[in-house]
Chains A and B, each alone.
Chain A
Amino acid sequence: MVRIEYVEAASSDEVLAALSQWGPDARLIAGGTDVLMDIRRGKYTPPVLIGITEIPELQGIRPTEGGLWIGAVTTHHAVTMSPLVLERYPVLASASGKVGSHQIRNVATIGGNICNAVPCADTAPALLALDAQAHVLGPEGKRVLPLDGFFAGPGRSVLARNELLLGFVLPDRLAGAGGSYHKHSWREALDIQMCGAAVVLTADPGDCRCLEARIALGTAGPVPRRADAAEAALKGAVVNEELASELGRIAAAEARPRTSARATEEYRREMIEVLVKRAILDALAHIKGARS
């Protein structure tokens, strides 16, 4: 029978100590909704699980220098209920609210969603579109890296085996920007996306000329990614329905989805076009709504 030890870490230093003591096969566990399923499916059998949810440094949502801090072990439920997130970055609350079920969101964390690094992670497009910075701790100390560049491949991030994600900072610059996340799945609840799209944009409330734009896609390639060409075409342009349709086409053309049991490449591409258009129009409505 398998034997897996469990260590509850009380601080990030204890995590690093446990990681160096147990070696590269040790596994951090936050909510455990991915880890326990991976173990059950035989993907890996770690000698030890290191619990990180009791570490104060990894918890909480609070204003910090330059932005809003979201601790790695914040549950999706806590993200969806946070007045600070709802007011400043509603696109993230929307994305967290689309993960799994209520029961899953009560334990699954935003850090786990990102460190698991699958292309369909629902919070990834929203965090990418919000220019999130990941704060990481390793034996050599802290480093801060943009989320754009965090994903290394399907199920792989740039984190080393002995590193720990502490949390994210969302920039003040994008607080209150127009934003929207759309997820397309077979069922409305408890389903993994076929694809997803998040848009964050700031625009002149008068003539709707776009000042700054971020478009990020889920399940549109091996990792969650920004739609660079669509972003470039959006910046400086007057946002209207025609432009939104055009940007949907551009994003679909630059997307690299593949065929899987859930959907074909062609279908995903068509849906990315639709989701990007919808997300842009929603973000615009959000900006216009804020003005009136």
Chain B
Amino acid sequence: MKEITLNVNGENHRLEIEPHWTLLYVLREKLDLVGTKEGCNAGDCGACTVLIDGKAINSCLFLAVRSEGRRIVTIEGLAQNGKLHPVQQAFVDVGAVQCGFCTPGMVLRAVSLLAENPQPDATEIRQAISGNLCRCTGYVKIVQAIELAAQDVTTGSGVSDE
């Protein structure tokens, strides 16, 4: 066991972990942050996407030990004071959520995309979410939701700013 401090959604957590545990495992099983999903556990589906220092990564392929000293944002950390993040709100408004399993990863990838490129076109959005699989929606509503969010997300919404 190894003792580490993880900064998740602005809060520090002191934890005892095994060095080979993934960030996904620690988030779900040790911190009860089960909004981050495990789909493939192989880097293929994007359901486990979280932000590390503002960058979207697959938490199933990232060791928790390497997250120390960095800012981790999960889906639970997006809403502020009970108000949904604009990307979350857009997913609700457009109806881009069906079973919801891909949604946390999709939303976080969209948040990181809009921080890098506040006005993406539909092709750029499709390319950006190509590492996130959705088995329900056919992606049309998801792309629409991200387009809608782009209209009101001001970059540096406090989530993926530097």
Contact = CB atoms under 8 A, between A and B. Distances in A.
Interface of A: 2-6, 8, 29, 32-33, 36-37, 39-40, 49, 51, 53, 77, 100-104, 106-107, 188-190
Nearest to A102: B131
Given A6-B19, A102-B56, A103-B57, 12 more contacts: A3-B18, A8-B66, A29-B63, A36-B61, A49-B63, A101-B132, A102-B109, A103-B109, A104-B131, A106-B57, A107-B61, A190-B131
When A and B form their complex, which 4 residue pairs have the shortest distance between CB atoms, in order from nearest?
A101-B131, A189-B130, A6-B19, A4-B20
Contacts of B58: 103-104, 107
Contacts of B63: 6, 29, 32, 36, 49
Interface string B63-76: 10110000000000
Contact of B131 (A37, A40, A100): A100
A6 B2 contact: yes
B15 to A, nearest CB: 14
Contacts of A53: 66
Given A37-B42, A189-B130, A103 B49 contact: yes
Task: Bin the interface of chain B by size.
Answer: 20 to 34
Nearest to B17: A6
A279 to B, nearest CB: 21
B42 A6 contact: no
B153 to A, nearest CB: 18
B22 interface: yes
Given A32-B63, A106-B57, A189 B19 contact: no
